[in-house]
Structure 1
């Protein structure tokens, strides 16, 4: 299934492109910083990064239709001159990075409880038949932590995905005794039997969770979402933005801790690189 434009009539395209151009030059009332490639216009925001795809817009629509998870409502989405533009309703709220340290333990617990429900809903979505590691449409997956490039795949199986992550290395290729033990453990982990991919946000850090008071009102930035190995939500949330390290202490409070899987990911990063 191919990604689809949404509500992309001439007027919406014209208004979006004009607003984004003005906003990126600082002429609108409020805009995001230049590096974020997000422009705010009244109660809407326009997102267009070098990595933005129609799959992100389609994912938000899919999540809205299949869960009760609060996501931005997509107004329109289209491609123009090789770049994707997504217009969404702005959600009134602050990301959890703002003021987390000042929250009471009771407040944090209420947030964790809601996050557990959100994750459970995502993980309860059944994948299409024969789905491997892929985005919502069965296309490439995106993650800035991938080595060499941010967009990979799609992959027919989790094993194919893992093999690519470790550059095709198998046990029989290991010759250096000092590396063999760790890498053998990683390869055995990768080559185990996997039940199938799980629908995953891929970046559930405090920066992508919006709240008003103790209520979660939005989960944003769905560009990394897709059908991924079962551990991927946990390890990706743990490998947070360097400016957001405090969130590592919170991840295990709303996601099932996966210490072994996390250790395997650390080994993969150490030998095969990403960030």
Structure 2
């Protein structure tokens, strides 16, 4: 019986999920079955299945060992608070200690695919839209008691964080900065005169009055921005979304992975340049480890 269901799920995954979503009855076991069957089918071809499985022209499912329910919460929150194009979330649940997010499949191409081939006019149009996206995120209302946390007040997730991917939550930006320095404060250093000049600059940067954190996507990479022609149609991967220091969006976007190095030169064109923050991050990495 199980094998029959598995075969039917692979063959009829689209119709099953379309029916479930249409009726708003999310049979979790069926969603999981369709996800696993589709991944199995893809693994038997030349395609290496990733964390997102495309089920139909309108639906996809995201699930990996790092997927959390708060990512779905972030997408819903952004869609309700802004006009930023994010996937519509149909369902999100935990099943046998693994999270599944059933969401809209947005048709578009990552900017990473053809950015270098685009004309300067095309790039300018897209960068202007990304400036508006960043502006809208900055205008999202921050909870009165917000510290550095995910949008639900839990630990932040960032695969660049040293040692572990989940940190906090922290009651304040100062507490977050202190943790980034392994808990070290200037008073801990017996001989203040021995502190290197660049480390002094890091302490001064961290000790500024930061005010409230701001809503931050945390990974505005060209890999996570979909465009159709010259229109930005989707901002993806909200797993790192959190309440963060105001500079974090900039330094995170500029800290490009090897597949995305060209994007570093574009970040200053849609996010407010912050060379002081970029330099401070370089100093922090030098003394306290890479993100």
TM-score (norm 1): 0.92
Return the offset for 1:153.
0.6
For these two proteins, the number of residue pairs brought into alignment is 267
Report the equivalent of 2:129: 114
Q: Deviations over 1:172-218 (max 9, x none)?
A: 33459675222121111111111110100000010000000000000
Paired residues of 2:224 and 2:237 also in contact (CA < 8 A)? yes
Q: Which runs of 5+ in 2 are unaligned?
A: 1-20
Paired residues of 1:22 and 1:28 also in contact (CA < 8 A)? no
Report the equivalent of 2:282: 266
Report the equivalent of 1:77: 92
Match for 2:243 among 207, 220, 227? 227
Report the equivalent of 1:216: 232
Which protein has the bigger helix share?
2
Does residue 1:198 correspond to 2:218, yes or no?
Answer: no
Would the alpha carbon gap of residues 213 and 178 (structure 1) be closer, same or farther in structure 2, given more than 3 Å must change?
farther
Match for 1:12 among 27, 39, 52? 27
CA RMSD of aligned residues (A): 2.0
Q: Which runs of 5+ in 1 are unaligned?
A: 1-6
Q: Deviations over 1:11-31 (max 9, x none)?
A: 431221001111221259999
In the alignment, the residues of structure 1 paired with residue 146 and residue 126 of structure 2 have an alpha-carbon distance, to the nearest angstrom, of 32
Return the offset for 1:10.
7.1
In the alignment, the residues of structure 2 paired with residue 31 and residue 177 of structure 1 have an alpha-carbon distance, to the nearest angstrom, of 60
Return the offset for 1:268.
1.0
Return the offset for 1:139.
0.8
After TM superposition, which residue ranges in structure 1, 4 or more long, deviate above 4 angstroms?
A: 27-32, 175-179
Report the equivalent of 2:166: 151
In the alignment, the residues of structure 2 paired with residue 178 and residue 33 of structure 1 have an alpha-carbon distance, to the nearest angstrom, of 52
Return the offset for 1:166.
0.7
